[in-house]
């Protein structure tokens, strides 16, 4: 007896499938005008129909969808012109430079072959599309391949379009003068999308259409819940903090994939918590992890340093921290009074963890106790760690005056 | 001096055009009398260039009196009689658009003479003629920036030389064109030259191709009868550390019975002086012909020459002048100028698509402005402004680090600390170390900074690859980043 797959897990599968399919992700681009997709398509289509040579560079950070746009344009062209040829020279050819040239006779033969092929195809009225990924790697060394390719395109007998894809924004500055002169100045920059575009993309990816193969009632419930999440301020804040670090499409896809995977199977619907959980799993804070592991004495030291900073002491060292520590112990008579040597060990431990550091760059001669130190964590992080530390004594929390910073 | 249009267009039809110096400026009335075809070149001098920038066959009603005169002179003659209605260019017509684009494409070789390269062509042609006449070998070095018409001119020279030799009744020289980027090994060039000389007999000799050539040129019997024109393109690929290949190549002309006319083409102006000092003592230093970068007048002349055969005006004169000025100021590269003109036409096409009822019949100054800004923009400042906020803060931290200090490199750990300082002062929560190193890798991928290799992540070296002033310029109006940048460091 086959156990029926529950509707939520079906939905999860559908969504995950969508997020992993680049064709679906970027299909929304087909409809909007004046995107890089439409510009590239116009360029290639007009070169093919007018039988003239052209070259273009696609530039943008990794993961912003350049290769996807190229694939989409190629797919469209294949449908329109079933007899057009396309050749892909991937980065492997560049890395295996030595290998491929030992198999064949010489680079001269290679380029002659390429030029002959270009001529043949030109006579047969077929256009060749060269897609050069990792274009900046081709610009290393003497750039012979690029030169031969672009030079061959200068003759009337060839019809070719060269599409270079690179993540370096100054890829055309890497070219030699003569290669750059032969390469047209056309560049398509893939800049990071605005917040509205991202919101629109997220909706496009997550909203289920009527024909997704799931029960209709589930779909309507799902869509309404999702729309309410999207208008929630916390979700917008979540997207904002994600975009502040890395605004590329692949980052958004990773985030959405995790959110879909954290979907609560009991209720069967996505919730704002799954998005927040996905965000925190992506934006890990190693410092917070190490702050949570600290001992009480170390926390005391950090709080003392913070109080000293609060008191507007511009520079302080271990000795002044000890003074502050003693004064606290005298005032509150806690059980956490330790000797100076023990405190110094804790101090060194904090230095190792890079939660504090020395404030000057010299000082090999000076003893460690007298070198100025400073905090490397913010007040907010300290407050959070005090909150999360279950064994933290109340006195410490009062000393820190936590409320100010949370 | 630009060639007279009548001379280039209908070379043999018009008789010798009357020299400009000899004619006196005529009044308007006298020009209107028909029948004086000989005066047509002078008439053209007085017509305002703005009205008729392109020659061509306009729709002029030509009276039946004049019969056998060339079209262009007819047109100029009646230029003031009849208001010439030049057909307007219709950019929506696909055939017309295609014709214009083809005329402006880089790979289109103008079938008539090249303009603006007369001096250089003359010098090279005279040199080749002298070599062929005296049956002596010689070498020539052509240099200039990319896009100045070197390869094009030399291939035209080849044809002109063959024509002239045929006229003089001498033996036609062979020619061989080699592009040095295709050579796997620099000494292969001699093999190629040898292969051309020995068409059939491919003897399996123990000597290297160079030695075979040298022995061939030293004996009167084995020396070939015909001259050989060897054109070597991108000659700087032949430069090796000991410069042996280059020396041997040029020294082929010193052999007593050598038959080669060597023409080398490269970009470096001082190649002969820097790499071939020995040649001067041996008295076989090549003649140097420099192809200077195009000036703005030359660029507009060349574009107009290309569009000459079309009947209509494609560019507004101001637009063309603007393009020529900008390109000449930047590099004087003709390919770039042609590319910009084509891209201006694409801007016009795009505008036509969006506003179907507007009457746009010409490429205006605005279209050219857009095309030029696209061609000459630097992506750096724009892309800095498009980065996410944290990455921009990392760039600020990096700029701060190098502000006062003389050192050029820092480590990832130090950069992290300054980044955290900035975050603390601006009350922005900093990202963790893992994400920070990811962001730095993204920035280095894009070419803003360079990360070195190290065993430990924190010890990787970081250098700034862009100009620090670009960062300050990009954040000029932004108060938040001004605060980040002002931090005193070091």
Q: Strand A373-375 relative to strand A356-358: parallel, antiparallel, unpaired? A: antiparallel
Name residue B461's beta-bridge partners.
Answer: B411
In the β-sheet with B138-144, what is the strand arrangement from edge to edge? B174-179, B228-233, B260-266, B138-144, B287-291
How would residue B394 be classed by pLDDT, with cut points 50, 70 and 90?
very high
Pair A184, A169: CB distance under 8 Å: no
Answer with the residue of higher pLDDT: A342 or B106: A342
pLDDT at residue A185 is higher than 70: yes
Inspect the interface and report whether the beta carbons of A148 and B375 lie closer than 8 Å: no
DSSP state of B74: H
For chain B, say whether A147 makes contact (Cβ under 8 Å).
Answer: yes
DSSP state of A4: P
Distance from CA of B221 to the nearest CA of A (A): 33
Q: Which pLDDT does position A104 carry in this prediction?
A: 43
List Cα–Cα distances, A6 to A12, A259, A307, in angstroms. 10, 19, 56
Q: Which pLDDT does position B393 carry in this prediction?
A: 92
pLDDT at residue B404 is higher than 80: no
Listing DSSP states for B328-353 in one string gives HHHT--HHHHHHHHHHHHHHHHHHHH
Inspect the interface and report whether the beta carbons of A178 and B267 lie closer than 8 Å: yes
| Cβ burial A49-75 (10 Å sphere, 16+ → b, else e) | ebebbbbbbbbbbebbbbebbbebbbe
pLDDT at residue B58 is higher than 70: no
Among B146, B374, B435, select the one facing A177 at the smallest CB separation.
Answer: B146
Residue B435 token pair: 């994400």
State the average pLDDT over residues A352-360.
Answer: 82
Q: Of A127-136, A295-304, B55-64, B450-459, where does mean pLDDT reach its minimum?
A: B55-64
State the average pLDDT over residues B170-184.
Answer: 83
Q: Which pLDDT does position B22 carry in this prediction?
A: 38
pLDDT at residue B53 is higher than 50: no
What residues in A contact B237, CB-CB < 8 Å?
A: 142
Alpha helices in B172-208 (DSSP H): 188-197
Q: What are phi and psi of B375, to 5 degrees?
A: -75, -35
In angstroms, the CA A60 to CA A35 distance is: 14
Q: Which pLDDT does position A389 carry in this prediction?
A: 80
Listing DSSP states for B270-337 in one string gives THHHHH-HHHHHTT-PPEEEEEPPP-HHHHHHHHHHHTTTSSS--B-HHHHHHHHHHHHHHT--HHHH
A-facing residues of B in 405-434 (CB < 8 A) are: 417, 420, 423-424, 429-434
pLDDT at residue A95 is higher than 50: no
Among A148, A153, A189, select the one facing B383 at the smallest CB separation.
Answer: A189
Listing DSSP states for A225-257 in one string gives HHHHHHT-HHHHHHHHHHHHH---HHHHHHHHH
Mutual angle of helices A249-261 and A272-282, in 10-degree steps: 120
pLDDT at residue A198 is higher than 60: yes
Q: Which pLDDT does position A112 carry in this prediction?
A: 66
For chain B, say whether A191 makes contact (Cβ under 8 Å).
Answer: yes
Pair B24, B56: CB distance under 8 Å: no
Inspect the interface and report whether the beta carbons of B433 and A111 lie closer than 8 Å: no
Single pTM value for the model: 0.72
By CB atoms closer than 10 A (0-12, 13-18, 19+), residue B235 is buried
Q: pLDDT tens digits, residue range A377-396?
A: 888 788 888 888 877 787 77
pLDDT at residue B200 is higher than 60: no
- Which of B271, B263, B252, B176 lies closest to B214 in space, CA to CA? B252
State the average pLDDT over residues B472-490.
Answer: 75
Alpha helices in B331-467 (DSSP H): 334-354, 365-376, 379-385, 389-404, 412-426, 433-445
For chain B, say whether A356 makes contact (Cβ under 8 Å).
Answer: no
In angstroms, the CA B6 to CA B12 distance is: 10
Inspect the interface and report whether the beta carbons of B335 and A59 lie closer than 8 Å: no
List Cα–Cα distances, B128 to A196, B123, B136, B152, B159, in angstroms. 67, 9, 10, 16, 12
Q: pLDDT tens digits, residue range A209-234?
A: 777 778 888 888 888 888 888 888 88
Q: Which pLDDT does position B203 carry in this prediction?
A: 59
CB within 8 Å of A329: residues ≥ 6 apart: A336, A337
Q: pLDDT tens digits, residue range B260-276?
A: 888 989 888 888 777 77
Indicate the average pLDDT of chain A.
80
- Which of A271, A264, A275 lies closest to A242 in space, CA to CA? A275
Q: Which pLDDT does position A265 carry in this prediction?
A: 79
Beta strands in A277-384 (DSSP E): 356-358, 373-375
Q: Give CA A257 to chain center in angstroms.
A: 14
Answer with the residue of higher pLDDT: B2 or A57: A57
Local structure of B151: helix, strand or coil: helix
Q: pLDDT tens digits, residue range A72-93?
A: 888 888 888 766 555 555 444 4
DSSP state of A57: E
- Which of A50, A45, A55 lies closest to A77 in space, CA to CA? A45
pLDDT at residue B333 is higher than 70: yes
Inspect the interface and report whether the beta carbons of A284 and B234 lie closer than 8 Å: no
Q: Which pLDDT does position A84 carry in this prediction?
A: 59
For chain A, say whether B454 makes contact (Cβ under 8 Å).
Answer: no
Percent of chain A with pLDDT over 70: 85
pLDDT at residue B256 is higher than 50: yes
Name residue B140's beta-bridge partners.
Answer: B263, B287
Q: pLDDT tens digits, residue range A120-173?
A: 666 666 677 888 888 888 888 778 778 888 887 877 777 788 899 988 888 888
pLDDT at residue B38 is higher than 50: no
DSSP state of B86: P
State the average pLDDT over residues B466-488.
Answer: 80
Percent of chain A with pLDDT over 90: 1
pLDDT at residue A103 is higher than 50: no
Among B146, B388, B447, select the one facing A181 at the smallest CB separation.
Answer: B146
Whole-complex ipTM:
0.72
């Amino acid at each position: 007896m086959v156990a029926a797959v529950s509707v939520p897990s079906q939905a999860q599968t559908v969504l995950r499938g969508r997020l992993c399919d680049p064709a679906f992700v970027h299909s929304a681009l087909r409809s909007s005008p004046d995107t890089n997709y439409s510009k590239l398509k116009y360029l290639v289509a007009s070169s093919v129909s007018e039988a003239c040579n052209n070259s273009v560079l696609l530039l943008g950070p990794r993961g912003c969808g350049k290769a996807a746009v190229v694939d989409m344009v190629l797919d469209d062209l294949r449908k329109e012109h079933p007899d057009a040829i396309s050749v892909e020279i991937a980065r492997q050819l560049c890395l295996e430079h030595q290998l491929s040239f030992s198999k064949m006779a010489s680079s001269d033969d290679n380029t002659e072959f390429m030029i002959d092929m270009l001529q043949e195809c030109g006579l047969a009225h077929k256009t060749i599309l060269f897609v050069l990924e990792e274009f900046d790697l081709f610009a290393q060394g003497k750039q012979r391949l690029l030169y031969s390719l672009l030079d061959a395109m200068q003759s009337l007998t060839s019809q070719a379009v060269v599409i270079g894809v690179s993540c370096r924004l100054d890829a055309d500055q890497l070219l030699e003068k003569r290669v750059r002169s032969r390469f047209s100045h056309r560049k398509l920059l893939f800049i990071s999308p605005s917040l509205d575009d991202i919101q629109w993309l997220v909706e496009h990816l997550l909203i289920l259409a009527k024909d997704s193969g799931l029960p209709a009632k589930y779909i309507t419930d799902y869509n309404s819940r999702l729309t309410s999440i999207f208008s929630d301020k916390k979700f917008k804040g979540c997207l904002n903090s994600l975009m502040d670090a890395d605004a590329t499409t692949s980052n958004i896809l990773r985030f959405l994939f995790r959110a879909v995977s954290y979907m609560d199977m009991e209720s069967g619907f996505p919730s704002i918590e799954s998005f927040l959980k996905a965000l925190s799993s992506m934006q890990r804070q190693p410092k917070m992890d190490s702050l949570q592991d600290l001992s009480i004495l170390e926390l005391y030291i950090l709080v003392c340093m913070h109080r000293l900073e609060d008191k507007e002491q511009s520079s302080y060292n271990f000795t002044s921290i000890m003074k502050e520590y003693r004064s606290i112990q005298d005032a509150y008579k806690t059980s956490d009074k330790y000797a100076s040597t023990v405190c110094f060990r804790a101090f060194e431990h904090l230095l190792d963890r890079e939660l504090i550091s020395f404030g000057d760059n010299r000082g090999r001669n000076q003893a460690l106790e007298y070198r100025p130190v400073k905090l490397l964590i913010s007040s907010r992080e300290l407050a959070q760690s005090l909150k999360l530390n279950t064994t933290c004594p109340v006195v410490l929390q009062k000393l820190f005056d936590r409320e100010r910073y949370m | 001096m630009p060639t007279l249009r009548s001379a280039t267009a209908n070379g043999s039809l018009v008789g010798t055009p009357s020299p400009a110096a000899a004619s006196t400026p005529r009044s308007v009335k006298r020009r209107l009398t028909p029948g004086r075809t000989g005066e047509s070149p002078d008439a053209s001098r007085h017509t305002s260039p703005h009205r008729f920038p392109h020659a061509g066959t306009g729709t002029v009603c030509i009276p039946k009196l004049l019969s056998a005169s060339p079209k262009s002179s007819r047109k100029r003659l009646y230029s003031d009689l009849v208001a010439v209605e030049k057909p307007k260019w219709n950019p929506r017509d696909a055939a017309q658009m295609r014709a214009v684009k083809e005329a402006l494409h880089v790979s289109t070789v103008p079938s008539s003479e090249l303009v603006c390269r007369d001096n250089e062509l003359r010098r090279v042609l005279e040199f080749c003629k002298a070599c062929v006449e005296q049956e002596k070998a010689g070498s020539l070095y052509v240099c200039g920036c990319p896009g100045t018409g070197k390869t094009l001119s030399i291939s035209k020279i080849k044809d002109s030389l063959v024509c002239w030799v045929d006229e003089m009744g001498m033996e036609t020289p062979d020619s061989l064109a080699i592009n040095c980027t295709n050579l796997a090994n620099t000494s292969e060039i001699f093999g190629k030259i040898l292969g051309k000389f020995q068409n059939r007999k491919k003897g399996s000799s123990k000597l290297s191709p160079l030695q075979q050539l040298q022995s061939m040129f030293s004996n009167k019997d084995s020396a070939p009868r015909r001259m050989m024109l060897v054109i070597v393109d991108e000659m700087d690929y032949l430069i090796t550390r000991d410069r042996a290949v280059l020396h041997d190549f040029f020294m082929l002309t010193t052999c007593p019975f050598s038959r080669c006319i060597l023409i080398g083409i490269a970009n470096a102006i001082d190649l002969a002086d820097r790499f071939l000092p020995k040649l001067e003592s041996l008295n076989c230093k090549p003649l140097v012909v420099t192809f200077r970068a195009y000036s703005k007048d030359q660029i507009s002349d060349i574009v107009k020459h290309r569009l000459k055969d079309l009947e209509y005006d494609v560019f507004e004169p101001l637009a063309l002048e603007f393009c020529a000025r900008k390109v000449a100021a930047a590099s004087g590269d003709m390919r770039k100028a042609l590319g910009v003109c084509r891209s201006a036409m694409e801007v016009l096409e795009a505008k036509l698509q969006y506003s179907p009822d507007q009457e746009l019949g010409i490429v205006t100054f605005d279209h050219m402005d857009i095309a030029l800004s696209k061609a000459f923009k630097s992506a750096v400042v724009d892309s800095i402004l498009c980065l996410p906020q944290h990455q921009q803060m990392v760039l600020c931290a990096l700029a701060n680090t190098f502000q006062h200090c003389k050192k050029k490199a820092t480590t990832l750990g130090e950069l992290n600390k300054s980044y955290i300082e900035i975050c603390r002062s601006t009350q922005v929560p900093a990202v963790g170390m893992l994400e920070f190193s990811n962001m730095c890798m993204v920035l280095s991928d894009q070419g803003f900074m360079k990360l070195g290799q190290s065993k430990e992540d924190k010890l990787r070296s970081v250098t700034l690859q862009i100009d620090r002033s670009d960062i300050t310029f990009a954040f000029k109006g932004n108060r938040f980043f001004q605060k980040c940048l002002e931090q005193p460091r070091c």
